[in-house]
Structure formats: C-alpha cells, structure tokens
Chains A and B, each alone.
Chain A
Amino acid sequence: MLRTRAKWLRIAAAMLALAVVAAACGNDDDGDGVVAPVEDAAPEATAEAPAPEPADEPAAEAPAPEPADEPAERGEVTIGVLVPLTGELGEFGKIVADAIEFGVGEINAAGGTVCGNIRTVVADTGGDPETGIREATNMIESEGAIAILGPTSGIMVALVDLAKREQVVIMSPYAGTITLNELGGDFVYRTVSSDLGDGAASGLWLSTRGYGSVAFMVQNEESTISPAEVARTEVEEAGIDITDFVVYNPGQPSYQAELTSVLASNPDAIFLAGGQESGVTLIKEAVAGGFDGEWLFTADLAVPEIFDAVGAELINDKAFVEFADADPSLPEFISFEERYSGAGAPFAPNSFDMVTLVALSLEASGQCDGAGINSVIRDVSDGGTAVSTFSEGRDALADGDDINYEGASGPLVFDPSGTVSGAYTIQQAQNGEWVNVEFYPASTFVE
C-alpha cells in the first residue's frame, strides 16, 4: 500500500556533516537547543501570527486567528485535505483530493450538512511526515478543521497522537500500514484495508498462477515488508520455491547487486513490492539482465506513467499489479462511476466514501466537531437502512432511521482498529495500459 518516504535524510546529512566539522575544527560553540518538535512549535507559531485567510472568504473578514474548535466561518464546517501533491506519490494525492472535492460538491449541492456547507482546506505533504504534522496542526489550529482526510501511511501514524489530543478525526483512503492495526480505531480510520490484506491477495495470485519459483524484491519499509511476508507465507504453503527474498533500500542509482542472486536463480516470476523510483530501475535492470518471466507489482506501480518510464514493450502481457479496489459489480460503485468521471482511478471511491461518511456522521450526531463524528461513524456505516449517497442518508436520518452507508468502495464496516475489510483487483499490462484480469472480493479472505 502507499507509503511515504521520510525526508530525514537531509537532516541526517546536515547533522552528520556538522558533527564532522565540529570534530575536525574543534568548534565548541554549537547551540544546544536545536529545534523544538514540530508538534510543539507549530501551535505557538500559529497562535502568534494572524491566521491565513481562506481564499474564498470575504476580504473584510478580520485577520484574527479562528478559535481552534469551531468552524472557520459560521454556517460552514471545515475539512482538511492532507495529501501528497508533490513527490513520488503526487499522482495519487491528486486523485484523492479530486475525489474528495467531488464528494464535497455533491454534499453541498444537496444543501450541506446540519453544520452547514463543507469547506475544504488543502495542503501538500510531499510525502513527508514532518510537513504532514505541521500542515495538520495548521488546519486544526488556524482553519478549525474537524476532520483531516487523505494522509498516506507514515503521516497517518505521525498524526495519531495529534488526532486524539485535538479530538479531530483523521481518515485515509490508502494508508495500509499495519502500524494502524494497533493504533487506529479512535479518531483514526481508513476506508481501505490493512497491508496484510494486500499481502494475502498477492500471495493468492502468486500461488494460483502456476509458478514453480518466485523471487521477492521488497523495498525496505514496513508498508512493503509486512504484506510481502504475508504473501511469502502463502506462496511457501502452496509449495512454490522462493528463490530469493531481497529487502533493498530505495534511493539508489542502481540495484544490480540486489538483482545478482535473483537473476542467477531465474525464477518464473518476481514479486516487486516497491515504489516507482526503485521499481522502474529494478524492472529495467532485470529485463536488461535477461529476466524473461512474469512480474507482480504492488499498488505504487499501478499508474499509467509506468509504461512510459519502463517502456511498455518490456512489461506488456508479463506484468501484473495488485491493489485494493472497489468492487466494480457493486451498484454503489456503478452509481458513483456514472456520476464521477474519475471513479476508476485508484482509491477514488475510497476517497469519496471518506467525505460522505464524515458528512453523514455530522448529520447523525448533530455535533459539529471531531468528537461528534467519532462517536457515530461506526453506526452510520453498519446496521440500518442501506444508503449510498449523502442525501439518501440525511433523509433517512431525518425520518429517524438508523443508516448503513454502503460505500462506492465497498461495505465499509470498521473493525476495532478503524479499518475496513477490502477487495482487491489484479490488473495486467496490456498494450501499454492496465487491464483488469482478476477481482478478489472481501469475502475471499474471510476464514
């Protein structure tokens, strides 16, 4: 599942370099109170400075900071959209932000929530947890956001404490990290399944494809190693020979050393659980090195840009990609697809579901804050009259019914960790584009 790459490297390099210089020059005038933790520093900064005015607010509005726990403007309720719009995952961030805006448009067009129309404030994390914390703090303290939607895995984990402390709901459509299996459930939700589900789906695909041997190339991150371990167990249990399980570091110019043993073993398939940067280089180097077997990629590579970057002719018919996906046979998804042209993009239905769930939770609780959403979000998505849009749900609630929001991405029943069970799609590279070849509904993995 989507993961963020921490930009700690710059800081580490600077610190290392400083240490070297300090040692070499014998300098002893280094300051000892370096930088306050972002969580602590940011609120102070925002408390002292005038809050930035949202672009659509009247110019006459006084530039005083908004109270932290109230909507930014009377008659509106603010939701933060915290996504990576730059960096390696920027393509996904835009999909998520667009789908949320579509959902907001539908909700506002239907008359808005009991707390008023939804206003969004969008911030780019660049995939960096530190930036994510700073922007989230700004959204809460300055903009009065009651929910923050769209963070990737590393940023979700980094925001858990902030969400609980500030009683603001955070929700992700693609953060599969298993760390949230422990931390999620109270103010922390996701409309996608855990990475372990991806591992199970990948393992099922690899086990049933008829391979005699499989090599695993796994990026050195928790979000890729965890599902790869699950897939490895399934493949082993199927009696398939695992020639290599290589955990590599991303950010290298070349991965020839990591590929040496894999290419020598010449497996029937390589399971590549990695990001776009490392993945593209690995694919090219493996093919150039003579690998002629099949591939299974994880979600990061489920984008059309891969064909340009790798060269479509190298992976056509041989490459497959696995990712959590909406069930295309569900009437809720079909309806969503009819209304929204971007419905087929990865995680677009999950993103739409997030904002609809938030809006329905506001309606159900009648409370215009994160605590209100948190208190009823499980109720509106499980048990009661089935609804698939905000307006349906609001009308049912007005009639005094319990509602069960059936999302465009699936049934959306949250487990104790705030995670939904997922369905998965396998796509194949065909003529320079990804084409669906297999779908595993959530029931596939229910024991």
Chain B
Amino acid sequence: MNPIVELRDLHKHYQQGELEVKAVDNVSLAIEKGDFAALCGPSGSGKTSILNLIGGLDSVTSGKVILEGTDLSALKNGELAEIRKNRIGFVFQAYNLIPVMTAYENAAFVLDLQGVDPAVSRAQVMKTLADVGLTGLEDRRPDQMSGGQQQRVAIARAIVTQPAIVLADEPTANVDSKTAESLLDLMETLNREQGVTFLFSTHDQHVMDRAKRIIHILDGQVESDELKAV
C-alpha cells in the first residue's frame, strides 16, 4: 500500500542561543489513506513540529517528507505553496479564519486560489458547509459565530478542495468538551463516509479516544505507534 505521507529519517533542529534543540529527532513513519491518526505527547514533544514539516510550513534539517510521492524537502517556497493549496488541508487550534470574509468566502477561498469555476466552486462550498452543519450561516463573519461554528468553517475550508490529508493542530483545544465531541463526530463522519485522511496533533483525551491510530511522540522521537482495534 502506498502511503499518502512518508517521513524518512526526519530531523528538525533549532538553535536556541548556543543550545541546539532537537524538535524532531530521526522520525520515520507513514500515514496511509483513510487514516484517522493522532500525534500525541506532552507540550514541546515535537508533534506540532512534525505536523509543520508534513504541511511544508517549515523546512527540514535532514531527512525527507514525501507527500504522494513528492519530496517536499526538495521544493521551493512557491512549489510548497502549490502543494499546500492543492493537496493539504489545515485546521488550526485557534480557528484562524480570515476575519473580513464570511463563512462561505472562507470556505471558498482556496477554491478561488485554485481558479475553480465559480459555479462549480459554489456548489462544492455549499455542499461542504452543509456537510459540516453550517447551512444558513454562510453569510456570517467569524466574529458573528461561536468557537465551534468557526472551527466547523475551518474544517470546511480544509476539506473543500478534497485534499490528500487534513492536518489538524490541536483542533479541540479552544472549545468546550461538548463542542469538541461534536467536532470529532464531524471529522469522524468525514473520515468514515468520505475517506478524508486526518492527522491530528493533540494531547486532548477526547481526540485520543476517537483516533484509530495513536502515535506517541516524546522528545522529538516516535515512542510508539499503535493501531486501535475497531
């Protein structure tokens, strides 16, 4: 089986004053299509760094990040932007919607960047917003929505382009437990029914309980990689 994402001997070192911090230290793993996986570990363990490297948001010190057969570490900034636009969806901890855009416009933004025909884009966005339970809220701006609703828009924005993988960095950290459960229900449904591949970074027990695969990260290394029995 060809993995969607493959990390080979991945290192990411930061210089902090005179000290070299090994945020990612020789990590090798593969994320398969349809995975609903969580990178777990305490703060500073390196899970967000791994997510950033997979997303092409940061450059590797050494090793390879291979997304659908393309080595991201060999790409230039512009090429990485193309990959992010077309093949990766992001869900951030603090929703991070563009505040001057409505829910619809936020969800449609990446499709606009891709140059998708407006009529096609409209149908796709409306369907996606319906899938995430935001029908009727299309014209609301982020400041007119609750945290949960904003995160649903962020999920809609991440999946509307049908990316190879959705990288979700602590997606439930800023919402209450009830909202967290409903967001996880949503992502689980998208994974089950539409085959969307999710990779979370989290230390939230709700997420870990729902994930089908738990990858424990400690001191920048993979401590364990467990596939839960369904």
- Answer yes or no: do A and B interact: no
